Chain A
């Protein structure tokens, strides 16, 4: 069975037929995606499936990964953090490494990228490649996966000069977008229903996490999956749990996040969380390795309700993941959570621990509401936030770019083939 057949079983045949029709004019077109890692992180996760899906649709899609030394990654990590608002100075030396690494990678990718019909450059790491391709044939698109709504200005100003010459940019939400002298497309991220994070699990896998973490399957369980970061408000989650527990004494809370690695702030927040949870055996703080996808999946299925009580959030893919598992979400009234959590339908937006506690009580006293809202949440994700929708919008963007500023593009395969041929 093909990958498209697998997705058809989840999304429906009409969704796949639609993709096939949209992709038909691109048969044989060369599409190259470029990022900086083949494993780990959301971009790699999406590309792992996006590339074979494009190939099955007849597109000559490929994936290139740029490489660099440790100072390059130090610089690009700094760029990532500064685009999210951290005020970190990047030295001229590091920026020099960034530009040199892009120049070196441009040489090794020259043939592939010069001849490509479409090049998708993901995030800041390979953004400076374009200047080394004055004879590029195709359309180049910069895809920003980061919440860059409030960047540290000096770094954005530096990066912007590399991004301006692109044919288009893509941001996940309008609020993240910046003024640029080319079309700025809005394409939300997506989850892959067939990945370890989201795939259906046997009941045994869920039972295993209950046993492993000494959770009681007979008692209500609420969960937040996120790194230990102040923007995710884990302390607020504990406060909400404590307020709700007065009315629901059997309540259990799991806070599952990655181990604090090289983020000194993460260690401090984790300490505060452990202190706030001290003495309550029903609060479980889990430090999971970054590849514990199946375990996170099982925890999300084990929970009655998921929380994402962020006070600042990008898109919030953990919300999408929980909703895909049929769980209502109580989320912070910020960022992409607002797109996903619809009050009284797929969950509740809450701005305070008190608000979150009220909604926890509301839902746990009405298990039928949990089922009803969870089902709506799952359908909402199926229709809007799966990788098939993401792919559809990439294909639509590819068509739109060929016709530039037209609002309404009526096409036939032959006309579009001519456009691609003329690139």
Chain B
């Protein structure tokens, strides 16, 4: 079996896009049942301690490529279930504020989730026995990444090429990248960083795009506008 990347889930790997050409990749995600379910917060907490990292990935990241609505109320499945299954707004908001890119690996994210749940259980004892109105089903996913064999040699090519990216390719380069790249950023920014300070202004603009709430198609439009505007303007923002 020949795999190009046998990096275990949750660890950081170097981006393959730096400093050579940008390799346009695409991906497909397939979801799997884990058989793990929760109807109460305590049960949910215990499952979180045991679930596979790929399940945390799915509920924080992978879900963005699954069937979903473009205007999500919460940026991860855990927060959504706490709000609509357990009906605890406070914990839902705290979980929603967790940004997985703040954690160097998924184990640390897992610990923070458990910490927040424990803190809330201490605050509100009734949550110990409150039964959810709908069961939480823990799902995990497998991601299949393939090379489209298309390459970008220069950053300016992004302006015209980005519209040809599939939405799953946007997912791979803009969202999944945050788990792979050294600085937990998207592949575009990671690649641009390889050109020194020249594109720092553009990288700042890219960092301003929130990956969680728009649909992938909307994200593609936003990126296209950003790249087209940037590369058409004769004077760019000072690097910084």
- Measured CB to CB, the residues of A under 8 A from B are 14-15, 17-18, 21-22, 171, 174-175, 177, 179, 183-188, 338-339, 342, 345-346, 376, 380, 383-385, 392-393, 395-397, 399-400, 403, 406-415, 418-419
- Measured CB to CB, the residues of B under 8 A from A are 1-7, 9, 26, 28-33, 35, 52-54, 57, 67-71, 134-135, 137, 139-148, 164-168, 215, 217
Shortest Cβ gap from B29 to chain A (Å):
7
Are B1 and A419 neighbours in the complex by a CB distance under 8 Å?
A: yes
Are A410 and B166 neighbours in the complex by a CB distance under 8 Å?
A: no
Closest residue of A by beta carbon distance from B215: A383
Shortest Cβ gap from A165 to chain B (Å):
18
Shortest Cβ gap from B97 to chain A (Å):
22
Are A411 and B57 neighbours in the complex by a CB distance under 8 Å?
A: no
Residues of A within 8 A of B141 (CB): 407
8 A-B residue contacts at CB 8 Å?
A177-B35, A376-B70, A393-B28, A399-B144, A406-B6, A406-B142, A413-B146, A415-B2
CA gap between A390 and B211 in the complex, in Å? 25
Shortest Cβ gap from A417 to chain B (Å):
10
CA gap between A177 and B5 in the complex, in Å? 31
CA gap between A385 and B33 in the complex, in Å? 19
Q: A18-B168, A22-B28 are in contact. Are A408 and B69 (CB under 8 A)?
A: no
CA gap between A400 and B142 in the complex, in Å? 7
Shortest Cβ gap from B59 to chain A (Å):
12
Are B67 and A412 neighbours in the complex by a CB distance under 8 Å?
A: no
Residues of A within 8 A of B5 (CB): 408, 410
CA gap between A341 and B145 in the complex, in Å? 31
Q: A183-B32, A346-B69 are in contact. Are A411 and B26 (CB under 8 A)?
A: no
Given A18-B28, A410-B146, 19 further pairs, Cβ under 8 A = A14-B167, A18-B26, A18-B168, A174-B33, A185-B32, A187-B31, A384-B67, A384-B68, A393-B28, A396-B29, A397-B30, A406-B142, A407-B52, A407-B54, A409-B144, A410-B5, A411-B2, A412-B4, A415-B4
CA gap between A419 and B1 in the complex, in Å? 7
Q: A184-B33, A408-B9 are in contact. Are A21 and B2 (CB under 8 A)?
A: no
Residues of B within 8 A of A413 (CB): 146
Are B143 and A403 neighbours in the complex by a CB distance under 8 Å?
A: no
CA gap between A414 and B146 in the complex, in Å? 11
Are A410 and B3 neighbours in the complex by a CB distance under 8 Å?
A: yes
Shortest Cβ gap from A268 to chain B (Å):
30
Select B1's contact among A17, A22, A403, beta carbons within 8 Å: A403
Q: A21-B26, A411-B146, A412-B146 are in contact. Are A185 and B31 (CB under 8 A)?
A: yes
Closest residue of A by beta carbon distance from B220: A14
Shortest Cβ gap from A370 to chain B (Å):
18
Are B166 and A406 neighbours in the complex by a CB distance under 8 Å?
A: no
CA gap between A169 and B186 in the complex, in Å? 34
Q: A342-B69, A412-B2 are in contact. Are A171 and B33 (CB under 8 A)?
A: yes
Closest residue of B by beta carbon distance from A334: B134
Shortest Cβ gap from A380 to chain B (Å):
6
Residues of A within 8 A of B69 (CB): 342, 345-346, 380
Residues of B within 8 A of A174 (CB): 31, 33, 137, 139
